[in-house]
Amino acid sequence: MSKSRLLIQNLGVMPYQHAWNLQKKMVQERLDDPNLQDVLLVVEHPSVYTLGTGSTVDNLKFDLNEFSGELFRTERGGEVTYHCRGQVVVYPILNLRHHQQDLHWYLRQLEEVVIRLLRLYGIEGKRIEGLTGVWVDGQKISAMGIKVKRWVTMHGLALNVSCDLSGFERIIPCGIRDKSVTRLIDFVDDVELEKVKKEMVMMFVQVFGYDANLENS
């Protein structure tokens, strides 16, 4: 099986649980048939908080008993994060047997996708030793959390583009108390969200070595 084929699905704006269910369906299909092509889901979510499998509610600044929004505990790694409109989220459903069977490598590749995208805007995205994600001037611009089952991936990364960051004020993002979050629009005046989605796909294709002739759905 060649890793050259990548199916792109731009889901537009989709509730978190719908996208989560779609991921689980696609993962199971690839566990049943490892020769199915890799998929990259690109999406925005309405306002939602998600917790990793081992996350503590101590990183929530609100009372769960009085919270009326959406919150899900998922099977991904990492602590609490926030999704909302204006944030580009990508969920790669990849069979790492066709790439490298190395989770450290995979996370560094996801970071590289974001670093290359930011470079298009003249922004230097950086890694911080011991932490996952991408940072600009010491502030987190992209969070990552993954789940891998028999080398098939789900969940992924979120890049803050033009989103309202106030939702992050109600949590300790990723459980890191001494770091704040930022977004692309704080560094460049004119950002088109749909253009950033396309650039994210382009950078993903470059970093993971797919053919440029993509299949869209």
21-80 pLDDT per residue, tens? 999 999 999 999 999 999 999 999 999 999 998 888 888 888 888 888 999 999 998 888
Per the structure, the count of domains in the chain is 1
CATH number at residue 162: 3.30.930.10
Residue 62 lies in a domain: yes
User: 174 catalytic, yes or no?
Assistant: yes
Alpha-carbon distance values, 171 to 48, 129, 157, 162, 177 (Å):
12, 23, 18, 19, 10
Residues annotated within the binding site are 76-83, 143-145, 156-158
Name the nearest CA neighbour of 216 among 37, 6, 8.
8
Residue 217 lies in a domain: no
pTM of the model: 0.94
The owner of tokens 């580009």 is 88
pLDDT confidence of residue 212: 56
**Cα separation, 166 vs 140, whole angstroms:** 14
Annotated catalytic residue within 174, 196, 200, 205: 174
Domain hosting residue 61, numbered range: 6-211
Residue 107 lies in a domain: yes
Question: pLDDT tens digits for 144-165?
Answer: 999 999 999 999 999 999 999 9
**Cα separation, 217 vs 203, whole angstroms:** 18
Residues annotated within the binding site for substrate are 76-83, 143-145, 156-158
